[in-house]
Chain A
Amino acid sequence: MTRKSRRLAIISAAGVTLTIAIGLILFALRDSIVFFYGPSELAAKAPPPGTRLRIGGLVKRGSLTHEGSSTVIFAVTDLKRDVEVSYTGLLPDLFREGQGVVAEGTVEGPSRFHADTVLAKHDERYMPKEVADKLKQEGTWRNERSARAQ
């Protein structure tokens, strides 16, 4: 092979690999990413049942009920609207009523959601960024850390 054809071979190999990779990335970005909504957004955008989503907000006080052996139902709220979330499995250590939570799962209706993963965070230092942003947006953000450090 001449120098030129070798260079061409290298460049085309690189081109093919990158094209395949980009194709895969685009395909995967369309099909395997998950959007994040708050309860109000969920109500406004009303995605069809079966859509995979992450929803986040606060666990509404007094809303946690156990159903059967290890299924729980609780409401996620942004203090305007609530979503009823059902979940089978172990709740994380930091899951509390009145604290931030992110649930991933599928939509069952405009205000019903079935979660297969629940993430909870304790204070704003470890609160999911999505929830903190949402709360700041809603104007219900309070800085627990500075309150505690006094």
Chain B
Amino acid sequence: MIIETGHYALSLALAVALLQSILPLWGTRTGDTALTSIAVPAAITQFLLLGYAFAALTYAHVASDFSLVTVAENSLTTKPLIYKIAGVWGNHEGSMLLWVLILAAFGAAVAIFERAMANELRANTLAVQGWISLAFLSFILFTSDPFLRRFPAPFEGLDLNPLLQDPGLAIHPPLLYVGYVGSSIVFSFAVAALISGRLDAAWARYVRPWILIAWIFLTLGIAMGSYWAYYTLGWGGFWFWDPVENASLMPWLAGTALLHSAAVMEKREALKIWTLFLAILTFSLSLLGTFLVRSGVLTSVHSFASDPARGVFILVILTVFIGGPLALYAWRAPSLSERSVFAPVSRESALAVNNLLLTTCCVTVLTGTLYPLALEALSGDKISVGAPFFNLTLGPLVAPIVLLMPLGQSIAWKRGDLLGAAQRVTVAALGGLVISIVLVAVIRGGSVFAAAGLGLAVYLIVGSFTDVASRIWARGQGGRVMLARAIGLPRSAWGGAIAHAGLGLTLMGLAATGWGVERIATVKLGQRIDLGPYQATIENFQSRQGPNYTELVGHTVISKGGAYVTAVEPAKRSFPTRQTTVTEAGIVTLSFGQIYISLGDRHADGSVDARLFWKPLVTSIWIGAVIMAFGGIVSLSDRRLRIGFARRAARLRVADSPAAPEPAE
């Protein structure tokens, strides 16, 4: 019964989406406020209906109702509860339902929190959000119905793909989806502005928090996915330049550019048209990602099942939602007024350069991702584009971005002073240079590139706080004054500094791979293997029984100079239902580095093939990403960036005109 009502709620949500996508637009056209005001209740109703449908599907998974095809194909009675719940989105149908649920959640959030936004803008935004909902709900109902029944119901399910039975499944997809789909609301704002033909700094103020939210989640989602792949796949790699990974990196690059250009638009009313373009681009790339992952064009653990009908359907959605708004943009953008006069040396110029480089990175990744598909379609030749391509093309783009980041932060708005800014970052630059030279000349071992990368990372981390420090520092003043200044600084200044430093940390972790140690060997029990500063010894093997698997665990002792440090337990797990074996790498973190051991086949004489790594500073790759996201959260807490701030500011401005001067950032 619950299943049927869930199915019904899903169909009802489609009807509501239809109303939401037409009536408010009609209302703003004709000036009929009764129609315009439907947008808000429609968005909220849609969210509630989809929430119910999702809860119903979750119930089916938890209760192991194998009469549902999706449950039967992806669940098992003995599967642990957390994977029963996470398994809801561990398959194509359920993950699409999660996608639209988040889409509706963003619509409802705008409906609820942006109360005092210009009515017309909000109604149009929600209507555009309604179009997206309409498209994806039809996609779900017509090609990938999660509530499809099968009679007679099987007694037992086929279990979830063992690779997905991991806590990562509970965290990674929801984070990534909030990031992907969060960009939809920014897209809707952009299309609404194009429809109404009005675009001002207030628009940027409304949109910025939403961009930031999407960006924070996308950052965390990508980092989580990378860490998951790192510890599950057993190759010790954390980024494979797999098209599916690129699909998440592209919206991140475009979204990062958007974040910065929206700042320029809000401050200086410049780069308006460009910001609109980026808003459309970011969501288009998210859609492209969904298409690449869900259509079966690519095969990976992410493409759960391929079905040509689905691919064509998503391709149609993709064409409509990228082509339509871009056509609208081409038609409307020239009529939007642009006041884009700014000095060549100024914060806004620096941000324009940032945008130029980031979008070029994005184009490069796009080329590397789509070129093999295009080539195969045109000539039938199959190629793979991997790390060598991306290292060669992205390296020369990322290096100048990193070099310019601290510099850009130190340049003032409107008219900056390049020499002054350069002087302010000297400390950081010297720090980085010294580290590089010490690494190359004294410590050695790594490549010159690795040393340069680490130096660049130190420069970025120190340089990120240069601007903040120079605004806090006061000669001859006591600590209390400086503390007061530090607290008084706008949170967005702190947020920016923290996020930039986070990127520096990530870069540091990437560069440090140059000092890693990798051993692939046949190891005898009790044999000691050198791993950088540590030694690893596999002592014995034990069999264990898990809830839906059996595992063979290799008890391994890590020591340093003969002294016991810790123990790790790499394992091989066998899942009988799917008849698959999965390697569980044994990982232990030692002062930001990690020992990583994954087991291969056992030989008759008791020895085992193993892959053993020492990865110095590797955790800082993901810690850096978490810090980037934290910087975003700090920025979000800035009172000028909070959701709904624009409304309060407008009220204040009416109350005490002339308007107060903007606080400097």
A interface, CB within 8 angstroms of B: 1, 3, 6, 9-10, 13-14, 17-18, 20-21, 24-25, 27-29, 31-37, 54, 69-70, 88-94, 104, 122, 125-130, 132, 148-149
Contacts and interface: CB of A to CB of B under 8 A. Distances in A.
Contacts of B148: none
A126 B301 CA distance: 6
B171 interface: no
B299 interface: yes
A36 B393 contact: no
B356 interface: yes
A10 B371 CA distance: 29
A93 B522 contact: no
A150 to B, nearest CB: 10
Contacts of B371: 29
Contact of B344 (A9, A90, A93, A125): A9
Interface string B23-45: 00000000000000000000000
Given A6-B341, A33-B372, 19 more contacts: A6-B342, A14-B356, A21-B360, A21-B393, A25-B393, A28-B393, A37-B382, A54-B382, A88-B520, A89-B611, A90-B520, A90-B600, A90-B601, A93-B572, A94-B581, A125-B305, A126-B299, A132-B299, A149-B158
Interface in B290-322: 298-301, 304-305
Interface of B: 73, 158, 161, 234, 298-301, 304-305, 341-342, 344, 352-353, 356-357, 360, 363-364, 367-368, 371-372, 381-386, 388-389, 392-393, 396-397, 520-522, 572, 580-583, 598, 600-601, 609-611
A89 B158 CA distance: 32
A125 B392 CA distance: 33
Contact of B601 (A91, A104, A149): A91
Contacts of B299: 126-129, 132
Given A27-B392, A32-B388, A70 B521 contact: yes
A129 B609 CA distance: 28
Q: Helix, strand, loop or mixed for chain B's interface?
A: mixed
B136 to A, nearest CB: 23
Contacts of B353: 13
A70 B522 contact: yes
Given A33-B383, A36-B382, A90-B598, A21 B397 contact: yes
Nearest to B384: A34
Contacts of B342: 6
A104 B352 CA distance: 41
Contacts of B609: 70, 90
A28 B521 CA distance: 33
B344 A6 contact: yes
A108 to B, nearest CB: 20
A16 to B, nearest CB: 10
B580 A93 contact: yes
Contacts of B298: 129
Contacts of B611: 89-90
Given A18-B360, A69-B522, A130 B382 contact: yes
